[in-house]
Amino acid sequence: MTREWTPGEADPAVAAIARTDRLLVALDFDGTASELVAEPMSARAIPAVKRALADLAALPQTTVAFISGRSLVHLREIAEHDDDSAVVLAGSHGAQYWYPGEGEADADAADPERMLRDTLLEELGPLLADYPGIELESKTFGIGIHGRPARPEVERAAFAAVDEVFARRARHWRRRTGDRILEYSSRDEGKDTAISVLRERTGATGILFAGDDVTDEDALRVLGDGDLGVRVGPGETAAALRVESPQQIAELLEVIASERASRPQ
């Protein structure tokens, strides 16, 4: 059962995650840390989320991470993430990782499907030029087609045309849909993979994961006892809590940071 989080009211689940011994706070980026925007590479975390994450990252036994479908290189750009950052990154739905003090983990640079990806991009570029507002994105392990700038009927037609190409050329690739995005990937990892990898890596006794889209449900469904899932905005969800917006995510994170900072060590 999902319930609305009410700012300013005591919440036992929030208090419990704030008191866990080793905390992992993991957020989707687009629509969770940032507002949804028409131009994908213009997304940036809202200032209040940035402040809350910095407060959490400064606390002992607390790890902060972004888990995104974005390729790692693009995630680093929109997250304004430099080599001194304390934030862990999981890109490409859990196929790529960056760790503080270590940098990028090996991500199988010799992708056997890269030549097919490049061939598909060559075919899709001219095809999608006939659909105003549709944007094509090359990803490390796949291809994204963004429909937000387009009219809904144009988006539907463009996505159908892309599906036809993949049915012919790459039927074995994983298909994902999100909020006005269609994505195909040569890798099968999902955000549930990232949750498992980061839980083991950090030794987390509790994970807070927040997301706003269909692909985030993969992560929310694998959370267990001692964890807390948060859905941003409307939609069917496995999350325990729902908030309205990235601004409310910031408020929730600040409550957790404050309670965690005051807990007995």
> Are 137 and 163 contained in the same domain?
yes
- Give pLDDT tens digits for 212-244: 999 999 999 999 999 999 999 999 999 999 999
- Give pLDDT tens digits for 43-70: 999 999 999 999 999 999 999 999 999 9
State the pLDDT at residue 38.
87
Cα separation, 253 vs 246, whole angstroms: 10
Domain end among 150, 185, 220: 185
> Are 138 and 169 contained in the same domain?
yes
> Are 73 and 122 contained in the same domain?
no
For all residues of the chain together, what is the average pLDDT? 95
CATH number at residue 94: 3.40.50.1000
Reduced DSSP (H G I as helix, E B as strand, rest coil) percent helix, strand, coil of the chain, to 5: 35, 25, 40
> Are 161 and 237 contained in the same domain?
no
Domain end among 185, 220, 236: 185
Residue pair 126/109 in contact (Cβ under 8 Å)? The answer is no
> Are 73 and 195 contained in the same domain?
yes
Mean pLDDT of 111-115: 85
CATH number at residue 162: 3.30.70.1020
> Are 168 and 148 contained in the same domain?
yes
State the pLDDT at residue 106.
66
Cα separation, 208 vs 54, whole angstroms: 16
State the pLDDT at residue 107.
56
Residue ranges making up the domain that contains 148: 114-185
> Are 202 and 94 contained in the same domain?
yes
Alpha helix stretches (DSSP H) within 81-190: 114-128, 152-169
> Are 52 and 131 contained in the same domain?
no
Q: Is 110 helix (H, G, I), strand (E, B) or coil?
A: coil
State the pLDDT at residue 109.
54
> Are 81 and 197 contained in the same domain?
yes
Report the domain count for the chain. 2
Domain end among 135, 159, 185: 185
> Are 122 and 230 contained in the same domain?
no
pTM, entire model = 0.88
Mean pLDDT of 126-137: 96
> Are 136 and 159 contained in the same domain?
yes
> Are 58 and 44 contained in the same domain?
yes
Cα separation, 69 vs 142, whole angstroms: 10
